[in-house]
Amino acid sequence: MENKKSDFRTVGEFEPQSSVLIGWPLVQYPKNNRQLNTDAVSVELVKHLCGQVRILIFCYNNDVINRSKHNLLEANIEINEIEFLVYPSEFMYPRDFGAEIMINDSGEKQLVNFDFNLYGLFSDMPIADKYKKFARFHAEHSGITKTVETKLISEGGDREFNGQGVMLTIEETEVNKRNPLWSKDDIEKEFKNIFNLQKIIWLPQAAFDDEHMFSGPIPDENNNFTAYRSASANGHIDEICRFVNENTILIAHITEEESQKSVLAKLNKDRLDKAYKVLTESANADGKYFNIIKIPVPEPIYLNIEPGDNIHKAFQTGYEVFNGKMIDGSIFPTGLMKVLPALSYCNFLICNNKVIAQKYYREGMKEEVKQKDAEALSVLKNIFPGKEVVTIDTIALNIYGGGIHCNTRNIPV
């Protein structure tokens, strides 16, 4: 382990990037009826990254590599410049367990290596050890050997940096959910030490949608508690709040009118309003207040899943691990289920001259879905005037509890 140098700093995603790592999904179709296709999302993502950055794709095995290459070639994407890596990862979200890289004034890079416990979902399962090694695998493949080790458990999706000594994160996640044996003061001290930070802004909670996927039922479209989270990151900031430059923060927002109509919206609004209040009272390292921009929350889109669907298998695993009862004491669903994917307009990737974001409208959906897509796209275009903003239909990826930002991990120039 190398000692941390005082001039190493964290980098904002809006700064120049040298490479982006993508996790290719292990399974192409979350549902057996094949309405959703995760490979199609990945192909679109690669298509928009071509020419912007060096692209790395990691796959579970050579069979998945061959599938990914076939789909990319079918889309007329040149694959000779893409690097394909094998890592036997059942999860596809390298934002969380990939390499968190700092740089210094001389252009040197170093890895900050965290502990990992499968998002607090299956904390004691041996499989977690595999993901503790992934960040070093990623860093070493990129020629980075300097490392700062920490015993903190944390995922990249819950850390946002402005590149000038400030980090945004979720207090409930980092303290209560991931590091309950640490005090908040000790966690803050550790973050500041390993990242050379001057300030941490603690938002109280993540979105209600992003709680532990086995917490219990959630409101459906009729405000009855008959639906479930399809999956979740169990409390990540990149679902609700992002740095778009060193002095500007984007945060998800729900109107009072929306909260009056929907129990789910009200539950989320309470949390987002508290987060917004914290942001309005927060300043950067120089004592200047941030420019805060609001972006809508997507209209809920519920999907039916049934036994045999790939995404349904996670609930069978949960049933076995939690002895048939969810965290709130309710009985695990075992048959046909209604689930809510992890929908967000904040889960975009900033990559050099492009911003790759999420959209949801498909023919036959409510007009409100289309309107929200258009409003979110307008916000993103306004806050990224010098970049091309493109959107991808990502619901096939969101059903696994994350999105575009989750499924990418950048290394800075």
pLDDT tens digits for range 282-294: 999 999 999 999 9
d(CA 195, CA 4): 9
- Check whether 270 has a pLDDT greater than 90: yes
> For all residues of the chain together, what is the average pLDDT?
95
**Residue from 267, 262, 297, 282 nearest 375 by CA:** 297
- Average of pLDDT values for 373-386? 97
d(CA 385, CA 245): 12
The confidence band for 123, taking pLDDT boundaries of 50, 70 and 90, is low
The confidence band for 91, taking pLDDT boundaries of 50, 70 and 90, is confident
Burial class (CB in 10 A: 0-12, 13-18, 19+), 157: buried
Lowest mean pLDDT among 97-101, 117-121, 184-188, 379-383: 117-121
**What strands, in cross-sheet order, belong to the sheet with 109-115?**
100-103, 109-115, 147-153
What's CA 159's distance to the chain center, in Å?
10
d(CA 403, CA 314): 18
pLDDT in tens, 302-347: 999 999 999 999 899 889 888 999 999 999 998 999 999 999 999 9
Helix, strand or coil, per DSSP, at residue 86: strand
Q: Mind giving me the DSSP string for 75-136?
A: TT---TT-EEEE---S---HHHHS-EEEE-TTS-EEEEEEE--GGGTSTT-TTHHHHHTHHH
Within 8 A by CB and 6+ apart from 22, the residues are 42, 45, 46, 49, 55, 56, 57, 58, 94, 407, 408
Tokens 């695990």 sit on residue? 332
What's CA 79's distance to the chain center, in Å?
26
The confidence band for 6, taking pLDDT boundaries of 50, 70 and 90, is low
- Average of pLDDT values for 271-300? 97
**Model pLDDT, residue 330:** 96
**Model pLDDT, residue 127:** 79
- Average of pLDDT values for 31-52? 95
d(CA 131, CA 135): 8
3-state helix, strand, coil in the chain (%, to 5): 30, 25, 45
Q: Tell me the CA distances in angstroms from 147 to 105, 122, 161, 215, one per residue in order.
A: 17, 27, 19, 36
pLDDT in tens, 199-242: 999 999 999 999 999 999 999 999 999 999 999 999 999 999 99
Provide the 8-state DSSP code for 329.
S
Helix, strand or coil, per DSSP, at residue 381: helix
Residue 17 tokens read as 């990037």
**Model pLDDT, residue 290:** 98
Q: What is the pTM of this model?
A: 0.96
Tokens 């996790």 sit on residue? 23
- Average of pLDDT values for 263-281? 98
Positive or negative, the Cα torsion across 356, 250, 222, 213? Answer: positive
Max CA pair span of the chain:
57
pLDDT > 70: what percent of the chain?
A: 98
- Average of pLDDT values for 141-165? 97
pLDDT in tens, 383-410: 999 999 999 999 999 999 999 999 999 9
**Model pLDDT, residue 5:** 42
CB atoms within 10 A of CB 304: 11
**Model pLDDT, residue 3:** 42
Domain ranges of the chain: 17-412
Tokens 């909260």 sit on residue? 259
pLDDT in tens, 356-370: 999 999 999 999 999
- Check whether 28 has a pLDDT greater than 80: yes
**Model pLDDT, residue 119:** 92
Distance from the first to the final alpha carbon of the chain: 23
Q: Tell me the CA distances in angstroms from 397 to 93, 99, 162, 232, one per residue in order.
A: 10, 21, 27, 12
The CATH T-level fold of domain 17-412 is L-arginine/glycine Amidinotransferase; Chain A (3.75.10)
